[in-house]
Amino acid sequence: GENVEQHPSTLSVQEGDSAVIKCTYSDSASNYFPWYKQELGKRPQLIIDIRSNVGEKKDQRIAVTLNKTAKHFSLHITETQPEDSAVYFCAASIGTGANNLFFGTGTRLTVIP
Amino acid sequence: NAGVTQTPKFQVLKTGQSMTLQCAQDMNHEYMSWYRQDPGMGLRLIHYSVGAGITDQGEVRNGYNVSRSPTEDFPLRLLSAAPSQTSVYFCASSWDISTDTQYFGPGTRLTVL
């Protein structure tokens, strides 16, 4: 099956700086790559996603890039704010949507005011 | 809409006991799934269902059973609980197997002694 690796496991940034989280996947058939944010004790929530036919997608301060050749994708958060502090998970799916997702191990982001 | 609901929120079991984790959604979603979340391991798919009476296993294969009838409910049964099943369990649903946005329930924290 698919194997998703995520780095770093922890990340601390100063408020206003940018944060980048990287993931690699093993199965070249994967074609859907969502990112989830999970606050302490809460459920995961989808923040952005990208399909394999797109190289980059942006939503305000959040962007995701995908390199299919290298089989890696990244989450970029600009102008970080304390409320961005959470655990972020990447995932990959071979299916046509958010089914049979394989998750990375998570990155704990801390934004220091 | 209540969205995706899960009960109980917390549960403590003794080794060998059986129990059912409840999951329901009121959004007429066809696709439902169960994940477990362990520290440092992200979320892993246990079972999923694409419609009434149709279920399949994910990467976590042993010790769990599911059913899907009616389509609003997707209970997860632990047949004989083991300490290795101590985890946080999340139920999720989406419109159908090809839909991107997956909605997660609030989770059930299970401890097996």
Q: Which of B96, B74, B51, B59 is nearest to A91 (CA)?
A: B59
Residue A97 has pLDDT above 70, yes or no: no
Mutation target vs A (from B34, B43, B57; most A CBs, 10 A cutoff):
B43
Min Cα–Cα distance to chain A from B18, Å? 25
3-state secondary structure of B11: strand
Q: How far is CA B58 from CA A22, A105, B84, in A?
A: 25, 17, 17
Confidence category of residue A31, pLDDT binned at 50, 70, 90: confident
Taking CB atoms and an 8 Å limit, are A95 and B40 in contact across chains?
no
pLDDT at A100: 79
Residue A86 confidence (pLDDT): 97
Q: Is pLDDT above 90 for B5?
A: yes
Residue A106 has pLDDT above 90, yes or no: yes
**pLDDT at A10 exceeding the cut of 80:** yes
B34 reaches A (C-beta below 8 A):
no
Instruction: Give the nearest chain A residue to B89 (CA atoms).
Output: A43
At residue A98, does pLDDT exceed 70? no
The answer to whether the CB atoms of B94 and A44 lie below 8 A apart is no
Closest partner residue to B59 among A1, A43, A105, by Cβ? A1
Question: Which amino acid is located at B69 in the chain?
Answer: S
For residue B97, give how far its alpha carbon lies from the nearest alpha carbon of chain A (Å). 6
Cis bond upstream, residue A113 (ω within 30): no
Is residue B40 over pLDDT 80?
A: no
Nearest to B3 by CA among B25, B29, B30, B36: B25
Q: Provide the CB-side half-sphere exposure for A71 (13 A, CA).
A: 13
Whole-number percent of chain A with pLDDT over 70: 96
What are the φ/ψ torsions at residue B34 (nearest 5 degrees)?
Answer: -125, 135
Structure tokens belonging to residue A94: 């071979």
pLDDT tier at A13, thresholds 50, 70, 90 = very high
Closest CA to A61 of A84, A39, A38: A84
pLDDT in tens, B77-103: 999 999 999 999 999 998 877 777 889
Mean per-residue pLDDT, B45-66: 90
